[in-house]
Amino acid sequence: MNLLRNLLATLTLTLVGVAQASELWIDVRRPEEFRAESIPGHINIPHTEIHTGIWQIIENKDTVINVYCQRGVRSEMAKKRLEQMGFTHVINRGGIEDVKILQDSN
């Protein structure tokens, strides 16, 4: 139930855009970490819940999914889990600071 509440809070304003997105950014940190610091438009699904939470967001296993956490360890676990589930384009972007630098350079 917590996952559903977190997803609804995170996705309230972006649900339509996410449903049509060809690329997703998922922060796999704990909800309290996400609340303390997050990147606008990115979704929070904790790495421990990625196997169930991803289906609330997308159905297409060919969607590009960018995952990140604090330093890259949990995002690597999430990446491996998603790949085991059949997702074909999962990228571990490392830590949140790495993602900020990447987005600032674009």
What is the pLDDT, as a whole number, of residue 21? 58
**Which residues carry out catalysis?**
69
Q: How many domains does the chain have?
A: 1
Which pLDDT score, from 0 to 100, does residue 1 have?
54
Token pair recorded at residue 33: 């970490």
Could you tell me the strand order of the sheet in which 89-95 lies? 43-44, 23-27, 64-69, 89-95
- Nearest partner of 40 among 87, 96, 1, 91, judged by Cα: 96
Two tokens at 13? 């304003």
CA angle at residue 76 from 66 to 67, to 5 degrees?
15
DSSP secondary structure of 60-102: -TTSEEEEEESSSHHHHHHHHHHHHTT-SEEEEEEEHHHHHHH
Does residue 63 surpass a pLDDT of 90?
yes
| Domain membership of residue 31 as a residue range | 2-105
Confidence of residue 22 (pLDDT cuts 50, 70, 90): confident
Report how far residue 80's alpha carbon sits from residue 78's, in angstroms, rounded to the nearest whole number. 5
Tell me the pLDDT tens digit for each residue of 64-99: 999 999 999 999 999 999 999 999 999 999 999 999
Q: What is the CATH number of the domain that holds 39?
A: 3.40.250.10
pLDDT tens digits for range 34-54: 999 999 999 999 999 999 999
